[in-house]
Amino acid sequence: MHGNLPAFRSVLADVDASDAEAIWCLGDLVGYGAQPDGCVELAQQRCDFSLAGNHDLGVLDRIDIADFSPNAAAAALWTREQIGKDTVDYLSSLDPRREGEAIGLYHASPLDPVWDYVISASGADRSIEAMDERVSAIGHTHVASRFTRFEYEVLAEAAEGGTRHDLSEDRWLINPGSVGQPRDGDPRAAWMLLDLGDWSAEWRRVEYPVREAAEAIEKAGLPRSLGDRLHVGQ
């Protein structure tokens, strides 16, 4: 969500209109956006569970924000000063991976749940090799995508909104994209409808009031570029 409350609300409305039975968040509830407390409160109310993302951990000072980009570091420092105790307590309870579900769940990847960026076939191949699960969901890159291993070859593809894939065979890494800050050239909020009964995944995109989110960022005194990029999905 990255503190983007308008996007989060719009995605939840789309989820409610579907037949989803549970809501999973793969991390980064805060960071970049101007409404971190609102996003965390809503996640507590609506998500069956959330993972910890690198931005969540950076705000908690559990990882060094010197490794962040300048704008990401500025947003983390701003967020530290703004969030309330309930937000800190909730974020502190989260982990970047979750075990015991039907699929693997990692903020970044099975190799490194906090930092690894899976953006290529070779990177996906290393992660697929490291995971115990046949199918895993990852986030972190802000790019809706899918990686499939057929025997010894890995296929890497962007996942456009409205596409649906059968996951019943082979090994997969699936990335739903970002609710709060997509970076694949599509400014609409992204989420995935996963059916573990027939093993299918549908990538969804949702319009939301981008201007409202961008204006909140500017009003908060965060770097204006964080709001500008929402309009172009980058």
d(CA 50, CA 129): 25
Is the per-residue pLDDT at 82 higher than 90?
Answer: yes
Chain segment 91-134, per-residue pLDDT in tens: 999 999 999 999 999 999 999 999 999 999 999 999 999 999 99
pLDDT for the residue 144: 97
Is the per-residue pLDDT at 152 higher than 90?
Answer: no
What's the average model confidence in pLDDT over 161-188? 96
Confidence of residue 21 (pLDDT cuts 50, 70, 90): very high
Evaluate whether 122 touches 129 at the Cβ level (below 8 Å). no
For the chain, the structural domain boundaries read 5-231
Buried b (16+ CB within 10 A) or exposed e, 75-85: bbebbbebbee
d(CA 43, CA 86): 12
Is the per-residue pLDDT at 151 higher than 90?
Answer: no
> In terms of Cα–Cα distance, which of 135, 143, 136 is closest to 177?
143
> In terms of Cα–Cα distance, which of 90, 114, 99, 75 is closest to 39?
90
User: SS3 of 117, please?
Assistant: coil
pLDDT for the residue 39: 97
Residue 154 CB partners (closer than 8 Å, separation 6+): 121, 122, 124, 125, 128, 147, 148
d(CA 168, CA 154): 16
Residue 21 CB partners (closer than 8 Å, separation 6+): none
Percent residues over pLDDT 70 in the chain: 100
Question: Running DSSP on this structure, what letter comes out for residue 158?
Answer: E
What's the average model confidence in pLDDT over 164-193? 96
Please state, as a whole number, how many other Cβ atoms lie within 10 Å of the Cβ of residue 211.
12
Evaluate whether 91 touches 56 at the Cβ level (below 8 Å). yes
> In terms of Cα–Cα distance, which of 80, 55, 73 is closest to 178?
55
Q: Which CATH superfamily includes the segment(s) 5-231?
A: Metallo-dependent phosphatases (3.60.21.10)
Two tokens, residue 183: 């970076």
d(CA 184, CA 188): 10
Degrees (nearest 5) of the Cα angle 27, 133, 158? 60
What's the average model confidence in pLDDT over 63-68? 92
pLDDT for the residue 71: 94
For the chain, the average pLDDT equals: 96
